[in-house]
Amino acid sequence: MTHKYDFLVIGSGIAGMSFALKVARKGVKVALICKTVLPEANTALAQGGVASVTNLEVDCFEKHIDDTMIAGDQLSTPSSVEKVVKGAPDQIQQLLDWGVDFDRKNDGSFDLHREGGHSEFRILHHADNTGFEIQESLIERVRESPYIDIFENHFAIEIITQHHLGKIVTRRTKDITCFGAYILDCNTSSVDTFLSKVTVMATGGVGAVYTTTTNPLVATGDGIAMVYRAKGTVKDMEFIQFHPTALYHPGDRPSFLITEAMRGYGAVLRNLAGEEFMHKYDPRLSLAPRDIVARAIDSEMKQTGADHVYLDVTHKDPEETKHHFPNIYAKCLSLGIDITRDYIPVAPAAHYLCGGIAVDTDGQSSIQRLYAIGECSCTGLHGGNRLASNSLIEAVVYADAAAKHATQAIEHYDLRTDVPQWDDSGTRHPEEMVLITQSIKEVNQIMSTYVGIVRSNLRLDRAWNRLDILYEETEELFKCSKASRDICELRNIINVGYLIMRQAKERKESRGLHYTIDYPPEQKNVVKG
């Protein structure tokens, strides 16, 4: 079946839904592709909040810009940082207009939190489930729109380019163009052709590539893998942010996140002996940027052979703690941990990708008529390390920029109609699911063991060799298999794992989230270009 749209939006988190709402209008057809169902997006798991300068009595854009550049280890693109920071207040107002409810004080002003790396209190939040509040508000608006067609349980397999029209496309090919995507209807197992004038990739992150992650398990890097296979530019994949404080509870996947706002509130990190340790690593103590805190915890765990450390908030007022962190309190209590009396066991977990599909200030990728927004994109904002709570605001600022640019550009585009249907002549093998499940576990183990918080040339070489074997096996299986979400996700996590590993090998220095024992910080050897 062939579907024809003006805008094809692949992904339904804050970035995808924001874009869809901004371009939807009479006479314009918008398709919103959702891999599972609308509530299941990484946005909904973002506890901390949204960073924006709102209290001008103590805060200013320059402070937020400086904090972002410092956290990014001076690798952030200044124009992108300025764009997001200065564009944030308007997009906060947009979220309010869409019905998002941020916590306020009795006088009506925002109840601002402070998180690691921020010099001021500037985090807008809704208790400790801000992402869920945003996701629910946007879902309501999207479902109300008569101009947005929602396709739940639909999985994008490949974007359509000249390659599918019989033309040879290489990474040196100029003006590669996207004409839509082949999308699997998981309800019927059929592959439909979605033709569009503009396609938007908003598929989120890559956390499910690792064994331990705070991301929903749908975060398999699908958009990044599709764009890479289509010869698009992908960059900075080595910068994987591990959240320092995921709740340690063996068997949980994804791991429950203990928001950084809790450390901003006054929680203290302790080792298993109950001793504070952050003073050994950074003068900012528990409020140091995430990469420093994650490596500190990793170091403490390795020194003692422990599988976790503790986060201590027992010295704070119990009722105030319950008020600020009701979901964390309830989750921990369900496991027999009363956070007002007991230490919280925590350990780092793969959390956020700072790299992704390279885009310009309008969200345009290197492929014509293809935009990328949200976590799957690399805008340059985060550089070597994301500043806490900058991601949600980046998503809406760039969704706005992409919507404005695409709305004007679309007037010059026509639908490509000579696109062949997907060749779905493969078969299903009885052992296919066993092979896929086992291969995914192998990728998770390889990435967690060799491409984790601390890396080395030897570890990366081992990852290369092992991923190469899995890549060859999976591509052979894909060629003779009927399209399924399982085989496609396996291809994607292998592609993404390879990109993370390869770009980590190419960076001959320790910088930001990429830390290698072969190039310690005091002996930096920067490779030009």
The residue among 284 and 42 whose pLDDT is bigger is 284
Q: What's the pLDDT score for residue 522?
A: 66
Of the pLDDT bands very low, low, confident and very high (cuts 50, 70, 90), residue 355 is very high
Half-sphere exposure of 182 (CA within 13 A, CB side): 20
Residue, of 344 and 48, whose pLDDT is higher = 344
Picking from 9-23, 70-84, 433-447, which range would have the lowest pLDDT averaged per residue? 433-447
Q: Which of 141, 290, 416, 491 is catalytic?
A: 290
pLDDT (tens digit per residue) in 211-225: 999 998 899 999 999
Output the pLDDT for position 528: 32
- CATH class as words, domain 2-45+129-238+354-412: alpha beta
To the question of pTM greater than 0.75 for the whole model, the response is yes
Band (426; pLDDT cuts 50, 70, 90) = confident
Whether 482 shows a pLDDT value over 80: the answer reads yes
Task: Say yes or no to pLDDT of 71 above 50.
Answer: yes
Q: What is the pLDDT of residues 124-159, one digit of tens each?
A: 998 877 888 898 999 999 999 999 999 999 999 999
User: Which two structure tokens, joined as six digits, stand for 7?
Assistant: 């805008």
Q: Residue 290: is its pLDDT beyond 90?
A: no
Question: Mean pLDDT lowest for which of 224-238, 309-323, 515-529?
Answer: 515-529
Q: What is the 3-state secondary structure (H, E, C) of 284-305?
A: CHHHCCHHHHHHHHHHHHHHHC
The full set of domain ranges for the chain reads 2-45+129-238+354-412, 240-351, 432-523
Predicted local distance difference test score (pLDDT) of residue 44:
62
pLDDT at 10 over 90: yes
Q: Which of 130-144, 341-355, 364-378, 512-526 has the lowest mean pLDDT?
A: 512-526
> Which pLDDT score, from 0 to 100, does residue 529 have?
29
pLDDT band at 8 (very low <50, low <70, confident <90, very high): very high
Strands of the sheet with 344-353, listed across from one edge = 240-247, 344-353, 309-312, 268-270
Helix, strand or coil for residue 393? Answer: helix
Report the share of the chain in percent with pLDDT over 70. 97
pLDDT beyond 80 at 331: yes
Give the contacts of 8 (CB within 8 A, at least 6 positions apart).
Answer: 31, 33, 180, 181, 194, 196, 198, 199, 200
Sign of the C-alpha dihedral, residues 288, 290, 293, 299?
A: negative
Proportion of the chain above pLDDT 90, given as a percent = 76
pLDDT band at 115 (very low <50, low <70, confident <90, very high): confident
Q: Is 459 known to be catalytic? A: no
Which band of pLDDT confidence, cut at 50, 70 and 90, is reported for residue 47? low
Cβ-contact 258, 344 below 8 angstroms: yes
Q: What are phi and psi of 196, to 5 degrees?
A: -150, 155
Helix boundaries (H) for 416-456? 432-450
Q: What is the pLDDT of residue 35?
A: 94
Q: Residue 404 in contact with residue 87, Cβ under 8 Å?
A: no
DSSP conformation letters of 123-154: EE-STT-HHHHHHHHHHHHHHH-TTEEEETTE
Answer yes or no: CATH 3.90.700.10 is held by domain 240-351: yes
Is domain 432-523 classified as CATH 3.40.50.2000? no
Mean pLDDT (the chain, rounded): 92
pLDDT at site 417: 85
Give the pLDDT band of residue 281 (cuts 50, 70, 90).
very high
* Beta carbons within 8 Å of 246's beta carbon, 6+ residues apart: 212, 214, 255, 256, 257, 258, 346, 347, 348, 349, 351
Confidence of residue 336 (pLDDT cuts 50, 70, 90): very high
